[in-house]
Amino acid sequence: MVYGRWSQWLNLLVCGLQILLKTEGFNVGITYVENAVAKGAVCLDGSPPAYHFDKGFGAGINNWLVHIEGGGWCNNVTTCLSRKNTRLGSSKQMVKEVAFSGMLSNKQKFNPDFYNWNRIKVRYCDGASFTGDVEAVNPATNLHFRGARVFLAVIEDLLARGMKNAQNAILSGCSAGGLTSILHCDKFRTLIPLGTKVKCFADAGYFINTKDVSGGQHIETFYNEVGSSKNLPTSCTSRLSPGLCFFPQYMARQIQTPLFIVNAAYDSWQIKNILAPGVADPHGTWHSCKLDINNCSPSQLQIMQSFRLQFLNAVRGLGNSTSRGLFIDSCYAHCQTEMQETWLRADSPVLGKTTIAKAVGDWYYDRSAFQKIDCPYPCNPTCHNRVFDPNDHPEV
């Protein structure tokens, strides 16, 4: 009897989730950029780049939102080989459909400012935020480091599909894709017709250079091994080492194109991989805290409050131009724009009574500027704090 009730409850829950997904998201098929292969613009394994494209309609038919997928980075042959035969290194391993929701939704009530735009999700398969461009391919590994070429080939393909007539265009991204939208923001502007209104938007892409809990420079060392200096902004590489120019705090001030940053001050990925990576926490003291901020001890929370202050100091690297937008909430979260629950819903995170969707829309359309930073954790009751599965805990 108990099992029967449990089974009924489970079926109801599954049906409810399916209905929710159908109302808040929809699947979009994959497009392979086959002609990119001849240009050497390929994923780590040599397969063609790919994206998912939902066409605009009505008044949005000449507006384009190009959103870059996230997925971390690889920094040497070993780590890149481990990605090569996964969706993060090969379009052969990518699912044929992905769900669009949040800022990619095609429903006005879920995405009032961009629902009828041409919305594209670019798949991420180069492991270096689209900065690599190495001609040589070692036959022993068959690894292709061609991310910069992939970025160009995808944009050229979209231009041929109608983006050359764009009235409005946004380059956005989440996580490593958010970093891509910062690093390539001005490049994107040069590729889009001069008369187009172009802005860039980064979700959880403002990774900061700070010491880990052991006092080491883990993330700086890692970034030094990732990028390609010739495809990072020269306004930064002319002054600093390429590894530092992977960090927005050192290069974002020089970006000419309007830029909006959405980021959690307690970014869950950064806490897990920059502040307290496994190599800096050999006894696993931080493991439970990283899975759920409610498990953190008072001393760990104190260290996280210090991390927040360092993050806010790094954000000052953006400068104070009114063309900059800021939505820095005090949530334990990472990537808040692709999910309906955090982009725009009745219970979404708010700053100054404003959702992320409204803040970004107001900024893009010049209705009002938005530069707000939240009070310290746990002051914001609207936060959707991440709770991670203990068996699913990837780290850099």
Catalytic one among 334, 348, 374, 384?
Answer: 334
Q: How far is CA 159 from CA 20, 103, 165, 172, 193, in A?
A: 34, 21, 8, 17, 9
C-beta of residue 198 within 8 angstroms of C-beta of residue 189: yes
The rounded distance, in Å, linking the Cα atoms of 292 and 389 is 9
Q: How many other β-carbons are positioned within 10 Å of the β-carbon of residue 259?
A: 25
Q: How many other β-carbons are positioned within 10 Å of the β-carbon of residue 307?
A: 22
The two beta strands, 324-329 and 371-373, are parallel
* Beta-carbon contacts of residue 373 (< 8 Å; ≥ 6 apart): 265, 312, 315, 326, 328
The two tokens of residue 71 are: 């997925």
Catalytic one among 175, 181, 228, 330?
Answer: 175
Q: Is 334 a catalytic residue?
A: yes
Longest dimension (CA), the chain: 72
Residue that has been written with the tokens 């009730």 in this structure = 5
Q: Judge residue 302's burial from the number of C-beta atoms within 10 Å of its C-beta, 0-12 exposed, 13-18 middle, 19 or more buried.
A: exposed
Q: DSSP label at 272?
A: I
C-beta of residue 116 within 8 angstroms of C-beta of residue 110: no
350-355, Cβ contacts within 8 angstroms, sequence gap of 24 or more: 350/382, 351/327, 351/380
Q: Judge residue 171's burial from the number of C-beta atoms within 10 Å of its C-beta, 0-12 exposed, 13-18 middle, 19 or more buried.
A: buried
- In degrees, to the nearest 5, what angle opens at C-alpha 121 toward C-alphas 117 and 127? 150
Catalytic one among 126, 267, 329, 374?
Answer: 267
C-beta of residue 202 within 8 angstroms of C-beta of residue 262: yes
CA 362 to chain centre: 21
Q: Is 393 a catalytic residue?
A: no
Q: Which residue intervals of the chain are DSSP H helices?
A: 2-24, 77-84, 147-160, 176-183, 185-191, 218-224, 234-237, 248-251, 268-270, 287-291, 298-315, 340-343, 356-364
Question: SS3 for 381?
Answer: coil
The catalytic site residues sit at 175, 267, 334
